[in-house]
Amino acid sequence: MSAKSDERRQAPRSKLFQQAEMRGPEGDVRVHVLNLSTLGALVYSDQVPMAGEQVRLTCGMPLGICRVAWVNGRRFGVQFLKPVPHAVIEQVLRIQDALIVSASERLGVPCRKMLVAAE
């Protein structure tokens, strides 16, 4: 990411690799959210929407309607039309952490530190 785009970013992003669904003009598509903030997300998919399209993103729970800001190969950035509440982002991170813990236990390997403290 360039320094210029970092300067434009208004909200900190949380890194993740979470399976999600995107609903757009072509229907429902499975995607992966690579990072997430209250204002936008970085998304990866084999089926990429066009810049400017509006899509609905769900990542274990509805995140909202967003506009595709840019596309580069199979990655694209989206900007949410309404900011995603911090509590929703924390819940998405908890879901990811629970999946990591479950996979670690199944594989018998140590787990990394949790992103969000359990309540």
Amino acid 3: pLDDT: 42
Answer whether residue 3 is part of any domain.
no
CATH number of the domain enclosing 22: 2.40.10.220
Q: Which domain holds residue 67?
A: 13-107
Examine residue 2 and state whether it is found in any structural domain, yes or no: no
What's the number of domains the chain is made of?
A: 1
Whether 119 is in a domain gets the answer no
pLDDT of residue 95: 86
Tell whether 117 is covered by a domain. Answer: no
Per-residue pLDDT of the chain (119 residues; tens, 9 = 90+): 444 444 455 788 889 999 999 999 889 999 999 999 999 999 999 999 999 999 999 998 999 999 999 999 999 999 999 999 999 999 999 888 887 787 778 887 776 655 444 33
Give DSSP secondary structure letters for 2-60: -HHHHHH--S--EEEEEEEEEEETTEEEEEEEEEE-SSEEEEE-SSPPPTT-EEEEESS
Is the Cβ–Cβ distance between 33 and 43 less than 8 Å? Answer: yes
Residue 4 covered by a domain: no
Q: What is the pLDDT of residue 105?
A: 80
With respect to residue 59, please indicate whether it lies within any of the assigned structural domains.
yes
